[in-house]
Structure 1
Amino acid sequence: MDRQGRAPGVVARAVRWLLIVGLGLLASGCAMLAPSPPQDQSNICEIFREQPEWYDYARDAQEQWGTPIATQMAFVQRESSFRSHVRPPRKRILGIFPGPRSSSARGYAQAQDPVWGEYQDDAGSLFARRTHMQDATDFIGWYNARTHRQLGISLHNPEHLYLAYHEGAGGYRRGSYRNKPRVRQAARQVGALASRYQSQLAACEAEFRCRRFYQVWPFCRG
C-alpha cells in the first residue's frame, strides 16, 4: 500500500487508463485536423480550390520527379479518395472478432510499410507521414521515377505506371496484372482520370501559380 492507502496495482491501472485515453484523444485530434476529402473529386480545379496547398505539393513533386500533377492526383483519388487516414478493412475471425488487415497500406497513397521504408531511406524524411499530402505526392513521384528507371515506362503513361504501382516492378515484368481484370480496369480508370484532370488543369492552373500576395505575374512559377 502507498501512503494514501491505495494499492500499487490500482495506481498502475489508473495510469495505464490515462495513457490510453490520452493517446486516443491525440489520435482523434490528428484525424480531426486532417482535411476533409474534396466534395467534387471529378474536377481537379475544384480540388485545388478547396485545398490550394495540394497544388504546391504536387507541383514540387512534379519538378523533383517528373510525374505530372494530374497523374499524381489521379493516383491519390484511386487509392484513397483523398482520405488521409484510410486503411484496408480488418478481416473478421469467425465472422465476429476483428482480425489483421489485408495489408499495411495507409494514407493518401496507400503506401505499404516495406516500400515506405525504402522511400524514407532513399529520398524521404524520417518524419514523412503517409497521412500528409505533401509526403504522399512526393512518394508517388519517387515511386514512378523508379518505375521509369527499372521498366522504361513513360512518366506520361498513367495507366501502365499504375499497373506497376499496384503490382510492383517484378509483378509488372511477369505480367501478373494480365490475369487481374479488376486491376486492369482500375488502371484504365486512372489513365482516363489523369487525362481529364490534365485538360481541366490547363484551364485553371494560372490561378494556383499566382494566388499568394507575393506571387506577381510574370515572376510566379511558370
Structure 2
Amino acid sequence: MSHGKTIGHGSLRGALLLVAGLLLAGCATSPPRDPDNLCAIFREYPDWYEDARAMEARWGTPVHVAMAFIDQESSYRHDALPPRYYALGFIPWGRVSSAYGYAQALDCTWDDYQQANGGGGSRTDFDDSLDFIGWYTDATQRQLGISKWDAYNQYLAYHEGRGGFSRGSYRQKPWLMQVARKVDQQSQAYGQQLGQCREELEEGGSWWPF
C-alpha cells in the first residue's frame, strides 16, 4: 500500500497532455539562423532544399521566389499568425484574418488547395506550405498571365487574391506595394545566392562537415 498522494485520472491526463505539448514544441523546426542567406538556410535545413526542388519541379515556380514569399509571410515560423484585432482599440477580438502557418494561407484558400490536391497536408508543414505557394502562383500565371519569376506582381496577387489584383485593389495600398518590392528584392538576392551554391547542394552535401 502506497503512502504517497494518489494522482487522479484528470490530473494525470492533464500532465500527460502538457508533456506531449512540450515535446511537440521541442520538435518544431526553429527559424533559420541566417534568414537573409538562402545558401545558409539550405545548409542548415537540407530537407528544405529537397522540398523546394520538388515544388519547383511540380509547379515551375522558382525556388528563390517561393522562399521569399515564406520569408515575408512568416519569417520561417511554422505557427505564424496574423496580428490581433482589437475592439475599441484595446480589447483583444480575434485575428485580422484566418491566415496561418509558413505560407499564411487563409482557411478558404487552403481548403481549395486541399480539394485540388487530394486533401491532407498541414499549414505548419514546410513541404506542404511550399507546395501551396507553387500551386497558387501556377494558377495565377495561368489565370492572369503573371510570370512565376515576377515576384512583385505574384506577391500582390497572393496577398490581394486574384480578383483583388485584377481590380487593382493594391493601388490603394502604398504600404502593400512597398512590401511587394521588398519581396521582389529578397527574391533577387536569394536567386543570386542560390546561383552560387546550387551546384554544391545538388552534389548531395559535399559541404557537410562530418
TM-score of the pair, normalised by structure 1: 0.82
Cα distance in 1 for partners of 2:87, 2:53 equals 44
Unpaired segments ≥5 residues, structure 1: 1-10, 214-222
Query: Residue 209 of structure 1: which of 186, 202, 210 is its match?
Result: 202
Query: Residue 154 of structure 1: which of 140, 147, 155 is its match?
Result: 147
Distance 1:74 1:124, change over 3 A: farther
Q: 2:4 aligns to what?
A: none
Aligned partner of residue 99 in structure 1, secondary structure: strand
Identity over aligned pairs, percent: 46
Unpaired segments ≥5 residues, structure 2: 1-7
Query: Residue 41 of structure 2: which of 47, 57, 70 is its match?
Result: 47
Aligned partner of residue 91 in structure 1, secondary structure: strand
Cα distance in 2 for partners of 1:72, 1:98 equals 32
Note the 1:182-197 alignment, pairs <5 A.
Answer: 182-197=175-190
Deviation string 1:105-148 (CA, Å, 9 cap, x unpaired) is 1111000100001001102542x111111001000000001111
Q: 1:116 aligns to what?
A: 110
Deviation string 1:29-73 (CA, Å, 9 cap, x unpaired) is 323211111111111000111111101001100000010000010
Deviation at 1:28, TM superposition (A): 3.6
Deviation at 1:99, TM superposition (A): 2.5
Query: Residue 144 of structure 1: which of 137, 148, 163 is its match?
Result: 137
Aligned partner of residue 187 in structure 1, secondary structure: helix
Question: Aligned-residue CA RMSD in angstroms?
Answer: 2.0
Deviation at 1:27, TM superposition (A): 3.7
TM-score of the pair, normalised by structure 2: 0.87
Give the aligned length: 199
Query: Residue 26 of structure 2: which of 32, 49, 56 is its match?
Result: 32
Distance 1:99 1:32, change over 3 A: farther
Aligned-partner residue type, residue 41 of structure 1? P
Deviation string 1:145-176 (CA, Å, 9 cap, x unpaired) is 11111111011101000000000010000000
| Structure label with greater radius of gyration | 1
Deviation at 1:25, TM superposition (A): 4.1
